[in-house]
Amino acid sequence: MKIAFHGAARTVTGSKHLITLNNGTQILLDCGLFQGMGQITDKLNGYFGFNPAKINYMVLSHAHIDHCGLLPRLVAEGFNGAIYCTPATMDLARILMLDSAKIQMQDAEFANKHIRPGEEMEKALYTDEDVIKAVGLMKIVEYGEDFEIAPGINLKLTDAGHILGSAAVHLKITEDGKTTHLTFSGDVGRYGDLLLKSPQTFEQADYILMESTYGDSLHKDIDPIEEMLLEIINHTCNVKKGKVIIPAFSVGRTQELLYALNGLELKNKLPDIPYYVDSPLSAQATEVLKNHTEVYNKTVKEVLKVDNDVFDFKGLRFVESIEESKALNADPRPCVIISASGMAEGGRVKHHIRNTIGNEKNTILMVGYCEPSSLGGRLIAGQKVVDIFREDYEVRAEVRSIKSMSAHGDYEDLLHFLSCQDPDKVKQLFLVHGEYEVQQHFALKLRDKGFKHVNIPEYHQEFELE
Ligand SMILES: [Zn+2]
């Protein structure tokens, strides 16, 4: 058996790992889009490094676009096998892939408007139709179910606690009379997440593919999220009479914020001002989460007994149209606006930041990981002047951040995830989904824990498994 790393190798996007059995059967783990890699992004997304038509099966760990965003392209290039995932991943991947197709078609249209004579027309990587075809190939596997993909190939998914429906993937493969256990962590969440259950333990593996996004950092906050939110909203909206702008990922952060604000309402502490979620995708993702109560942790289930909608509270409004979104800018009253994208690189939130950044009465609240070069990253770094839509803006608004609102576990969480394993029995541990420098630090921590064979594969590198 062989394994090759065709994405998320020494980087955090484009997750794609290909297993090839001795008889030629191929199983692809994830099929993610590369994002934010500058000029080489298109090139990376245009070349798989394998033949999609030859893949027999595909397992999808979760619905983030850097894990499923090239699935429709895989299908367009000839993949026709089953795609195994949890029920929630199927629902969420559908809306996220449709959104991705829309963005790509808009980008291509925009590029073609500015095309020079002789230049090639820009084409979207895929269309809505490719997304629908991909969704049609999806087959549901429940957490904990022992599922036979084919004779000698068994699959089990366990909760990874990262986002709604996220799973760690466990394959039991028997070939030539020998059984091999291979685990792919997918992305690993935090122990003690506001909404989701903690990552589950899993059977002893011979080979592990382990994510390493936060392999060298800890992100604990001193105060509970609710308390920090309350302090920031009171200070901004009641004392300074300003607006709080929160760039937040449509999946995960937005629902966590709504849940925390709902929690404040249940305690009669929620400031009486308007709250807006200004992102149609965030509204859709919230609906998907409401339909999948099976993923909630015990605390959320307890709250559900006294409140039948844990994401809704007085003053909350979901903004659909662009006109209504623009109208928020003209309204001077204090309010809270939660909007995508999470790194403030695109989407409606960029307009809200442009309109509020010049006034000290406002607060821009960052609640997730930001690439250092993104607008969110530059704000967190404390830049005094930032470029927005090619114009310089002085940063007069307060910039705050809540670090513990991350979908990824920190290194203590990652080590916790692996603590169910006997390191002596793990033949190879491959680090994926992390920046190379971070991975090197994490590899040292893992060696300290007794994992002797830690590898950091390069892009397209292939390994023979014993
Ligand atoms: Zn993820």
Measured in angstroms, how far is the CA atom of residue 412 from the centroid of ligand 1?
18
Measured in angstroms, how far is the CA atom of residue 74 from the centroid of ligand 1?
19
Mean pLDDT, the chain, rounded, equals: 94
Helices then strands (H, E): number in the chain? 14, 22
Q: Which of 112-116, 269-273, 383-387 has the lowest mean pLDDT?
A: 112-116
The pLDDT of 232-261, averaged and rounded, is: 96
Measured in angstroms, how far is the CA atom of residue 13 from the centroid of ligand 1?
9
CA 109/CA 258 separation, integer angstroms: 35
Q: Tell me what pLDDT residue 341 has.
A: 87
Q: Tell me what pLDDT residue 308 has.
A: 93
Measured in angstroms, how far is the CA atom of residue 174 from the centroid of ligand 1?
29
The pLDDT of 38-53, averaged and rounded, is: 91
Measured in angstroms, how far is the CA atom of residue 19 from the centroid of ligand 1?
21
Measured in angstroms, how far is the CA atom of residue 67 from the centroid of ligand 1?
7
The pLDDT of 27-45, averaged and rounded, is: 89
Q: Tell me what pLDDT residue 204 has.
A: 98
Beta strands in 313-438 (DSSP E): 316-318, 335-339, 363-366, 385-388, 391-394, 398-401, 428-432
Q: Tell me what pLDDT residue 83 has.
A: 98
Q: Tell me what pLDDT residue 224 has.
A: 86
What are the Cα distances from residue 1, in Å, to 23, 128, 182, 283?
Answer: 9, 35, 11, 43
Measured in angstroms, how far is the CA atom of residue 422 from the centroid of ligand 1?
26
Q: Tell me what pLDDT residue 222 has.
A: 67
Measured in angstroms, how far is the CA atom of residue 65 from the centroid of ligand 1?
8
The pLDDT of 199-222, averaged and rounded, is: 92
Measured in angstroms, how far is the CA atom of residue 162 from the centroid of ligand 1?
7
Using a pLDDT cut of 90, give the percent of the chain over it. 85
Q: Is the per-residue pLDDT at 243 higher than 90? A: yes
pLDDT in tens, 422-448: 999 999 999 999 999 999 999 999 999
Residues 379 and 246: beta-carbon distance below 8 Å: no
Q: Is the per-residue pLDDT at 186 higher than 80? A: yes
Measured in angstroms, how far is the CA atom of residue 113 from the centroid of ligand 1?
34
Measured in angstroms, how far is the CA atom of residue 28 from the centroid of ligand 1?
17
The pLDDT of 192-204, averaged and rounded, is: 96
Measured in angstroms, how far is the CA atom of residue 210 from the centroid of ligand 1?
13
Q: Tell me what pLDDT residue 107 has.
A: 80
Measured in angstroms, how far is the CA atom of residue 130 from the centroid of ligand 1?
22
Tell how strand 398-401 and strand 363-366 pair up: parallel
Q: Is the per-residue pLDDT at 285 higher than 90? A: yes
Measured in angstroms, how far is the CA atom of residue 331 from the centroid of ligand 1?
35
Q: Tell me what pLDDT residue 117 has.
A: 83
| Position with higher pLDDT, 158 vs 110 | 158
Measured in angstroms, how far is the CA atom of residue 64 from the centroid of ligand 1?
5
Exposure of 68 by Cβ count < 10 A (0-12 exposed, 13-18 middle, 19+ buried)?
buried
Measured in angstroms, how far is the CA atom of residue 394 from the centroid of ligand 1?
33
pLDDT in tens, 331-385: 999 999 999 988 888 889 999 999 999 999 999 999 987 877 889 989 999 999 9
Measured in angstroms, how far is the CA atom of residue 62 from the centroid of ligand 1?
7
Q: Tell me what pLDDT residue 373 has.
A: 81
- Please give the helix or strand (H or E) that residue 356 lies within, else none: helix 348-356
Measured in angstroms, how far is the CA atom of residue 334 from the centroid of ligand 1?
33
Measured in angstroms, how far is the CA atom of residue 212 from the centroid of ligand 1?
12
pLDDT in tens, 380-412: 999 999 999 889 999 999 999 988 888 889 999
Hey, is 187 helix, strand or coil? coil
